[in-house]
Amino acid sequence: MPRNKIKKIKICTGAGCKAWEADQIPVHLGSLRELIEKEGYEVHLVSCINKCGGGACVQMAPGKKLFKLREPQEVCRILEGSLQPAVA
């Protein structure tokens, strides 16, 4: 698969996102490990997505869909398809 087509879940670990408990997002993703692997996603912690404010940032690639999570467990709703991306 070409590098730019790899499916990634990027979790921001910047100071603003840490304030929204971004460090707990991977914990919640752990409960969905089988689904993540089945869908072909890789989880990456990144230093900053530069879309600060309003919640912890999670970006889905390819496509660069950006989600703002006010609660870490909302990450499960992204994979279920029941959480809408933030307007960038």
Runs of H (alpha helix) within 19-60: 25-30, 33-39
- Is the residue at 85 inside a domain? no
C-alpha–C-alpha distance, residues 54 and 13, integer Å: 14
pTM of the model: 0.86
12/50 Cα distance (integer angstroms): 9
For residue 66, the domain's CATH number is: 3.40.30.10
* pLDDT in single tens digits along all 88 residues of the chain: 555 578 999 999 999 999 999 999 999 999 899 989 998 999 999 999 999 999 999 999 888 899 999 999 999 999 888 888 886 5
Cis previous bond, 62, omega within 30: yes
Structural domain boundaries, residue 64: 3-80
Instruction: Indicate whether 17 belongs to any domain.
Output: yes
